[in-house]
Amino acid sequence: MSFPLLTATAAVPAIGAIATAAVPAARRTAAKWLALLFSLATLVLAAVVAVRFEAGAKGPFQLTESHSWIRDFGVRYELGVDGIAVALIALTALLIPFVILAGWHDADPLEAPAPNRRWRPTQGFFALILAVEAMVVISFEATDVFLFYLFFEAMLIPMYFLIGGFGDRAGADGEERSAKLRSQAAVKFLLYNLAGGLIMLAAVIGLYAATADQLGSGTFSLTEIVQARADGKLELGTGTERLLFLGFFFAFAVKAPLWPLHTWLPGAMGESTAPVAVLITAVVDKVGTFAMLRFCLQLFPEASSWATPVILVLALISILYGALLAVGQRDIKRLVAYASISHFGFIIMGIFAMTSQGQGGATLYMVNHGISTAALMLVAGFLISRRGSRLIADYGGVQKVAPVLAGTFLVGGLATLSLPGLAPFVSEFLVLVGTFSRYPAVGIVATVGIVLAALYVLVLYQRTMTGPVKAEVRTMPDLKARELAVVAPLIALLLFLGVYPKPLTDLVNPAVDHTLSVVDRHDPRPDVAVKADAEAAK
């Protein structure tokens, strides 16, 4: 029996969460180091998964594991990865150590006289982060629909406590008001995602009933269902398939988030600490867009094509709406949240363009958005922790007193607006090319989002970092060693993948080709005849 590498990659952070939570209350520092060590161990396992994965191998999934779980209901513990999953597992495992380092002091006790001191369990904070990592990783690995659904929903619980229990301390209205806002943001996050999950559960049950009716025994196995459909053994009626697709897509659109199901994100990110905000948008939300590729398109190919025009319109609205609201924001973290809504619009647009460039670019966008948003948000978090305010108007002239902080903030911002030479540019370019080749009008309108991105990023930098030095920032210290250890590797990755994206494209392109073959869509042929064809026609 081969070593269960995929199980180990998800189990290590889960074990780390339990071990960290069990550290005695007086050993806060030990709990931090233990969480960091377990996150690094997970990163090593993710690297082994990437090395063991063969990009050109036949078959949709590799490193597979399959064991009977709930036999009477056709539920199996079934794992496997394609290139898309490997890239996102690597992204998750890479970001978690930086999230832990950046949040090193975020759960320390508040300095306030009793009885107003609020207890913040440091061990619980880091244990919850590791628990989220474990659930996200196994969601990327699961090829059994029920197994995926289980962890897709379960990750909401630790995220709820991270948002509501360990929120931002930089609220302008005092601790009591901030606690109320955190609680409201956490409840809204949970209710929105639970509503999506309940609708998906109905669709999961419907899918099982359809397979039981036509295959003799119900199954949740993605590979079995896709193969049965290819062999003609499983025929979902048009109406049934479309209803099931909508049930799955609704849940994933809430998680992504896609307009108009996005309204939980600005509050959740705004009231969270910066590391938890990164966990939300750079890690957890990627499960939604990943699931669109893995489950929506492969389980329901006809319904995916049927819904494409409406989804493209919603994605286009997300791009423009998110960017416009980012331009008008006064709160730094809410600006990044609305920018992320715009970016997720690009990702979803690329997925449903149904071209190899669009879907390949969308997958790269997931990875590159995770890195660039982490860089920008974490530096913003360091800035906010120094000043104690999230309001843009409370800053000015920071580059004169903290040039390294300002410089890293600028690079993160430029990556967010997809400047050529930085990683997000390649992905955004591929998404636009892939969309334009099939839907020219959508591709043209979407480019407005690029202009708006340049506006909100450059205005943010100009208002916070340039101009006269405000009195409140005159003594602001520059980035320290721990903070540089967080930001420097992310910036190095943005530069490396900006000039050499080949490792990622080689990894994800075969998986994209497989997805398109399942949906039975092909890249459109060029409208302009090549010279040789024109001469042959004569």
Find the angle CA(513)-CA(436)-CA(424) to the nearest 5 degrees: 70
CA gap 128, 247 in Å, rounded: 29
Quote the pLDDT of residue 117.
44
User: Do the Cβ atoms of 315 and 445 come closer than 8 Å?
Assistant: no
> Which residue(s) pair with 81 in the sheet?
62
Q: Report the alpha-carbon angle 442-443-444, nearest 5.
A: 95
What is the percentage of the chain residues whose pLDDT exceeds 70?
Answer: 93
More confidently predicted of 9 and 231: 9
Do 389 and 429 touch, CB atoms closer than 8 A? no
The residues that bridge with 391 in the sheet, in sequence order, are 331
Q: Give residue 87's pLDDT.
A: 94
This prediction has a pTM of: 0.91
Which residue did the predictor score with more confidence, 214 or 351? 351
Q: In the numeric block, which tokens belong to residue 243?
A: 């209803």
What is the enclosing helix (H) or strand (E) of 69?
Answer: strand 62-70
**How many residues in the chain?**
538
**Out of 172-181, 281-290, 483-492, least confident range:** 172-181
Tokens for 73?
Answer: 């209901």
**What pLDDT was estimated at residue 455?**
92
pLDDT, one tens digit per residue, over 133-173 is: 999 999 999 999 999 999 999 999 999 999 988 876 655 45
More confident residue, 523 or 60: 60
Alpha-carbon distance values, 310 to 98, 303, 307, 442, 516 (Å): 38, 12, 6, 12, 19
The 10s digit of each residue's pLDDT in 119-133 is: 458 888 999 999 999
- Three-state secondary structure call for residue 84: helix
Rg, C-alpha atoms of the chain:
23
Q: List, for residues 193-236, the tens digit of each pLDDT value.
A: 999 999 999 999 999 998 888 887 888 899 989 888 888 888 88
Estimate the share of the chain in helix, then strand, then coil, as percent rounded to the nearest 5.
75, 5, 20
- The whole-number average pLDDT for the span 448-456 is 92
User: What DSSP string runs through 460-495?
Assistant: HHHHHHSSSPPGGGTT-----HHHHHHHHHHHHHHH
Average pLDDT of the chain is 88
Distance CA 392, CA 467 (A): 13
Tell me what the mean pLDDT of segment 440-461 comes to: 92
390 near 270, Cβ under 8 Å?
A: yes
* Amino acid found at 458: L
pLDDT of residue 343: 94
φ, ψ at 535 (rounded to 5°):
-70, -40
Query: What per-residue confidence (pLDDT) applies to 114?
Result: 42
Query: Given this model, what pLDDT does residue 111 score?
Result: 52
